[in-house]
Structure 1
Amino acid sequence: MKKRYITGFDGLRTLAVVGVILYHIMPFKFQGGFLGVPIFLVLSGYLITDHLVLEYEQTGTIDLKNFYIKRIKRLYPGLITMLMATTAYITLFQRQLLVNIRGVIVTNLLYVYNWFEIAHGESYFDKFGNQSPFTHLWTLAIEGQFYLFWPLIMLALLVFVRKKQPIFDILFIGSFVSALLMAFMFHPNQDPSRVYYGTDTRLFSIFLGASLAIIWPSGRLRQRLDGRLRLMLDGIGIVSLLLMLWMFMTTSGQSDLVYRGGMYFFSLLATLLIAAVAHPGADLNRMLSNPVFTWVGRRSYGIYIYQYPVLIFYESAVKNIAAHPWLHAIIEIIIICLISEFSYRCIEKKLSKFDYSQTWLVLRDSFRKNSPFKWRQVGIVTATAVTVIALFGIINQPDASAVQKDNQLQQVIQKNEQATAKRKKGKKLTAKEKQEQKAAQASAQKGLTAAQKKRAQMLQVTAVGDSVMADGMETLQNIFPQMYVDAKVGRQVAEIVPILQALKNQGKLADTVLIGEGTNGPFTQQTLDQIMTITKGHKVYWINVHVPTKNWQNQVNSDLEAAAKKYHNLTIIDWYSKSNNHPDWFYSDNVHPNSNGLKYYGDVVARAILKKK
């Protein structure tokens, strides 16, 4: 048996990393791109297990020390560079992202970051607000846990179970158990980040790849196949590839089906495709081998770890992504490729073979008077400066409450939530509070006719929304005192489905329903249909979005316009057109109305609702 370098696997890595990047850049166009991650996991399961089995069969053991050293030298240089460079950047330019930075760094170095994200309730699907540039590293945490424990597990299986068929059965059953765990722990219409991040609920992809390695070892596959078997294997691979591409384009990350068998099915397709590519007698390896795929595949690790920080920092610097989404997407991809090329050539490739016992000698020789290594000197000085800045940010990690206190928008939202909670509990207001409320109502209703004011006073409205509505809920309630508001920061459109259904079941859903959703990302047709089914017989008003910093703005608004044509009880309130050329109406994020903008926000909503009364 000889270990083969299968060039077609670079094509699979390219497919995986491109899918993930396109999902992050344009989630409404490539909504299934997140499925690139299972490809990485299945491939890792196959390659690592294939290597371990080969080593055991040739030597009668597994050199654990050598395995761990190779993994550390392969993974840590790029990871540490990314962590330090990203932390240095946010220390200089986006200090609010330094909250919890110590925990982020430590858990990433220990490869348990996915559990850190779960413990802190971080959402993978909330695409708005102060997004962490480290969110995507949950995948590396699962891979790191796999690299740590898998050699020990495989050694135990090979020593005590021995026969390959029982080992295959154990691994395949393990994959099925993990998939069942994902299905049972998933709760419809709730953020699925727990099952998305969890090692326990994602192991099925790794187990499928590992089980394939047991029965399909790369070194024992025949070099030639007869025509019928070759065509069959090619056909299986091509059909699997086409189905995977179709799922890339059509599968929503918040679809119930994804977590109830869909992701497992995708991983099975990836396993079949890997089997076809790995076989030297088939044609898939040649089909997925070309210079472009080789370039991307070999740099896929760097591309993956750097892509999210680039997207976060670029989109925070460019204030109108939505105006030219494709142009900005191309620029972002170019930046990612340039950084990844530098990382591959100057960090990953060099340090994976570096003898760290010679570190001091290399540093000493680099700074000798006649040293020819001028670029090495620049690199060392730059790395030192970046590390010092990053350590400064880590040491001076800001307190979350202090950052929140400095956020004027957050203060407004908290004040609104407290006032709304007081309304819901029916607490009596003090004389001063009554006077302030009366003045606020008079200001909010300014511009309405006497008849409109009277109707607004009596109108029952149920309002659900995201942070924009949370920002404006006090203004809206000053216009509509009978309004019930349920607004939450970071809320996705799918999350309002159970809220509306619960109100409907309790008989508390008003005839007039106001929805303010879409700021945090696009929605699926299935979600929209669910909302409109629940609100059938009600008059529904949906405020479209002004979120120029995200490329889904136009998609959300065009989808809402199409929905209004389909559902006759749905009216779109065009906040986007009214506010688009008024940056003075917004906080610095150019999304949430400030005190000046809230006057117009309330007026636009009130006039739209009262117009048809």
Structure 2
Amino acid sequence: MKPNFNPSQGMKSHYFVTGIDGLRTLAVLGVIIYHLLPNILMGGYLGVPLFLLVSGYFVTYQFSRQLKYGGHINLGHFYLKRFRKLYPTLIAMLILTTAYITLFARELLHNIRAVIITNLTWIYNWWEISHGQSYFDQFGGISPFTHLWTLGVEAQFYLLWPLIITLLFVVFKKLRNVRRVVFLLAVLSAIEMAVLYDPANINRVYYGTDTRAFSLLLGSWLGLAWPLNRLRPNLQVNSRRLLNIIGVIATVLTIVGFFSLNGQSSFTYRGGMFLYSFIGMILMATIIHPGAGMNKWFTNPVFHWVGQRSYGIYVYQYPVMVFYERLIKVGNHPLLNALVEIIIILVVSEVSYRLIERPFTQYQWSKLPADLQHVLETHHFSWQSGAKILVSALVVVIAFIGFCQPNRAPKKTAVQQRIEQNHQATEEHNKKIAKGDNVAEASGNTSKLQKQYDLTPAQIKAAQKLKITAIGDSVMADAADSIQKLMPNAYVDAQVGRQGSAAPDVIKQLKAEGHLSKIVVLNLGTNGPMTQDTLDDILSSIGSGHQIYWITAHVPTKPWQQTVNNEIKDLAKKHKNIHVVDWNKASQGHSDWFASDNVHMGPSGNDHFARLIAKAILTKK
């Protein structure tokens, strides 16, 4: 498709693309819904590339005009404008969040100074690579700052790109040559992501500026190839229709990506994210073009309202969700709680927009000394202003106290200590099983086991003979000791933070080493929902001839609890060799079985967990 632009018949430079607010709305909704309901919108994180595309386009479009007509970029004006928008909201969020943590979540003060300093210096994404948690770790100890990596990537782009684009124009002279180099850089960034991708640790490619630059660079290429001021508003009917069709298709594909592109799939990092960034670029091109109808279709009061506040919405979303979900068991009513969280996020963002973002962005800071002098001389100081200053000062003081606290890692909980101890014991036990050693309990302990697990002597004897392979996450790692005491021939492979998507490789390795028994017990779903492809891969990896006992998830603090459990029950209906071990149902009303997180168990809960597994297997034998 030709660009349909003419230097003598283009749009005026002050033309405002209202539909970009609609694109920002699509992006921020994708990200928020992903964070709230990852089981529904597993690819919602693709909203981030849309934000980066928009930044890349308008920044580069502005630079190309300045270089063409003025010969240089007004760096001072550009930096001042960008950072006047970025800093106030970011600083407010850092202060408010740190104050809340200081008062109500002190264990999150660990590394708080590093988090704040790296955010203020725009290098937080690089700090996250080596110190932060995975973006997709949505269970244990979630940081309310994780999402700010994006701001680091954008700010670094704002700092470096004016210098790089100027150098490109100096070296390559002609616009078409610069365009080619920019597009090549985008492709190289995507290739680097694919080469550096490590499924065991995706932080490097997910947070790295270099490996995420392709979205910014694709937007930049579009700013050079599809300049707004040269696009014709009056197109022939066929050209307009073609643009609209392409725009609609790109919109549909973008939404499909939101629902389907698993953030932990290798395809995502080996071309998938680049592909959807390219589709997003096409979508943005059709919205920008004044001759198409896409800009109008993406324009309405709701999109405008959200789009104008999208920065604040993005910045405040994670703290609201993290703190809300510490207090409320969202897993029991995920949709209702998601709606409540969205309302809170929008309210907080609106207050911030009115009191911080808009006033600080529009204020002429050169007038500050004169305004202060005027207030002091006239004593024009209302009680409302005094109250605002007092409250703000109190919040700042509390945040500063938290900032100054010694950087101590939070003490390990009883659950964490028990998991660490069990991990070593489980490995030793597994080695004995692998060697063929006799690991069964002495018959004299039968009465002790009978009392501990509330089973009959016959059940204890039968359980001692069971040969099973148990694969799971931290819940099973916690219960491993109880499982192997009751069923000493159980080979347990459990890992903290394990996602369902990691299970197929684990199963294949166990099978290759000869450790996959005919009876397979699965405890997957604590850390997130599983796609149908993941479920199919798990079953395919296990293969035929095995009886599978799948334990339901008990994660009342997370929205995917019911989704995971429904998936397990649906699988059992479709496959005769899959049996449901309904731990979620069995544990209802037994809060005394669980630790403070209401997910991992205490010693008594671990015994009941192991007992339920054994009874489920013995019932079917």
What amino acid is aligned across from residue 523 of structure 2 in structure 1? Answer: G
Q: Equivalent residue of 2:493, what SS?
A: strand
Going from structure 1 to structure 2, the CA distance change for 1:358 and 1:376 (only over 3 Å counts) comes to farther
Match of residue 548 from structure 2: 540
2:280 paired residue number:
270
Contact residue 125 and residue 191 of structure 1 kept, 8 A: no
Aligned position for 1:194: 204
Is the Cα contact below 8 Å between 1:444 and 1:479 reproduced in 2?
Answer: no
The answer as to 2:49 corresponding to 1:38 is yes
Amino acid of the structure 2 residue aligned with 1:527: T
Aligned to 1:510, what secondary structure does the other structure show? Answer: coil
Aligned to 1:153: 164
Percent identity over the alignment is 47
Check conservation: 1:125, 1:193, Cα contact below 8 A.
Answer: no
Correspondence for 1:492: 499
Residue 81 of structure 1: aligned partner: 92
Distance 2:369 2:550 in 1: 64
Superposition pairs of residues 552-567 of structure 1, within 5 angstroms? 552-567=560-575
The residue aligned with 2:310 is 300
The more displaced of 559-568 and 142-151 is 559-568
Confirm whether residue 423 of structure 1 aligns to residue 433 of structure 2: no
Gaps of 5+ in 1: 428-433
Cα distance in 2 for residues equivalent to 1:348 and 1:544: 45
Q: Deviations over 1:447-501 (max 9, x none)?
A: 2233332232232222121111121111111111122222222211111221111
Q: Tell me the distance in 2 between the aligned counterparts of 1:439 and 1:112.
A: 59
- SS of residue matched to 2:362: coil
1:228 aligns with 2:238: yes
Q: Which residue of 2 aligns with 1:452?
A: 459
Structure 1 residues 234, 491: CA separation in 2 closer, same or farther (over 3 Å shift)? same
CA contact (8 A) 2:449 2:460 kept: no
Listed as ranges, the matches of 1:296-375 within 5 Å are 296-319=306-329, 321-359=330-368, 362=371, 370-375=379-384
2-side partners of 1:151 and 1:330: how far apart? 41
- Say if 2:265 is the partner of 1:260: no
Q: Report deviation, 1:359.
A: 4.5
Shift of 1:4: 2.7
Letter in structure 2 aligned against 1:534: S
Quote the Cα distance in structure 2 between the aligned partners of 1:410 and 1:490. Answer: 12
Q: Post-superposition shift, 1:157?
A: 1.4
Match of 1:413 in 2: 419
Amino acid at match of 1:574: D
CA distance in 1, matches of 2:27, 2:79: 25
CA-CA distance at 1:241 after TM superposition: 0.8
Contact 1:100 1:397 survives alignment (8 Å): no
Structure 1, residues 354-412: CA drift from partner, whole Å, max 9, x if none? 34455466567667884244333322222221121111112114411xx233x222122
CA deviation after TM superposition for structure 1 residue 35, in Å: 0.8
CA distance in 1 between counterparts of 2:34 and 2:448 reads 44
1:98 aligned to 2:109?
yes
Q: Answer with 381-390 or 248-257: which moved more.
A: 248-257
CA distance in 1, matches of 2:226, 2:172: 18
Q: Is the 8 A contact 2:491 2:515 kept in 1?
A: no
Pair 1:466 & 2:473 matched: yes
Counterpart code for 2:319: P
Q: 1:517 to 1:348 in 2, by over 3 A?
A: same
Contact 1:440 1:478 in 2 (8 A): no
* CA RMSD after TM alignment: 2.3
Measured at CA, do residues 503 and 364 of structure 1 come closer, stay the same or move farther in structure 2, by a change above 3 Å? Answer: farther
Change in CA separation of 1:51 and 1:483 when aligned onto 2, cut-off 3 Å? same
After superposition, residues 475-514 of structure 1 pair within 5 angstroms as 475-514=482-521
- Tell me the number of residue pairs that the alignment of Structure 1 and Structure 2 aligns: 602
8 A Cα contact 1:322 1:550, kept in partner? yes
Deviation at 1:162, TM superposition (A): 2.1
Are 2:250 and 2:279, in contact at CA under 8 Å, matched by a contact in 1? yes
Q: Amino acid of the residue matched to residue 515 of structure 1? A: L
Aligned to 1:113: 124
| Gap runs ≥5 in structure 2 | 1-11, 434-440
- The alpha-carbon deviation at position 423 of structure 1 amounts to 2.9
Q: Displacement, 1:580?
A: 1.7
Q: What TM-score comes out, normalization by structure 1 length?
A: 0.94
The alpha-carbon distance between structure 1 residues 512 and 387, as it changes in their structure 2 partners (threshold 3 A), is same
Structure 1 residues 212, 533: closer, same or farther in 2, change over 3 A?
A: same
Q: Structure 1, residues 73-94: CA drift from partner, whole Å, max 9, x if none?
A: 1100000110111111111111
1:411–1:449: structure 2 CA closer, same or farther, 3 Å change rule? same
Q: In 1, Cα distance between the equivalents of 2:528 and 2:224?
A: 42
Paired with 1:526 and 1:224, the residues of 2 have a C-alpha distance of 46
Contact 1:541 1:609 in 2 (8 A): yes
- Structure 1 Cα separation of the partners of residues 496 and 617 of structure 2: 24
Seen in structure 2, the aligned counterparts of structure 1 residues 285 and 397 have a Cα distance that, compared at 3 Å, is farther
Change in CA separation of 1:344 and 1:121 when aligned onto 2, cut-off 3 Å: closer
